[in-house]
Amino acid sequence: MNRSEAIKRLNAVFCDVFDDDSIKIADTTSAADIDDWDSLEHINLISAVEDEFGMRFKMKEVSGMKNVGEMLDLICERGN
């Protein structure tokens, strides 16, 4: 999967999970950039991303993600 397609799909997931159509994610976007992104919403986000891309993250991957760019790297690497 190419990165531009993945970021469009991922952005739609972010808008849905955080119920905010004005969100525009970038590689550097992190929890500090989105007001409602707390630990509970992080779980919801990961679940929604997994559903959208038909994949499952390992716990180590989830805990190691520092920003959207790292999430995109994993999504593109798996190619769904």
Domains, in order of start, for the chain: 3-78 (1.10.1200.10)
Q: Given this model, what pLDDT does residue 30 score?
A: 96
The widest CA-to-CA distance across the chain, in whole angstroms, is: 30
In 3D space, the residue among 59, 46, 39, 56 whose CA is nearest the CA of residue 17 turns out to be 46
Q: Given this model, what pLDDT does residue 80 score?
A: 54
Give the C-alpha separation, 22 to 11, whole Å: 10
Give the C-alpha separation, 78 to 17, whole Å: 22
Q: What is the pLDDT of residues 35-78, one digit of tens each?
A: 999 999 999 999 999 999 999 999 999 999 999 999 999 999 98
Q: Given this model, what pLDDT does residue 42 score?
A: 94
Angle at the Cα of 51 from the Cα atoms of 46 and 53, rounded to 5 degrees? 95
79 pLDDT band (50/70/90 cuts)?
Answer: confident
Q: Given this model, what pLDDT does residue 1 score?
A: 81
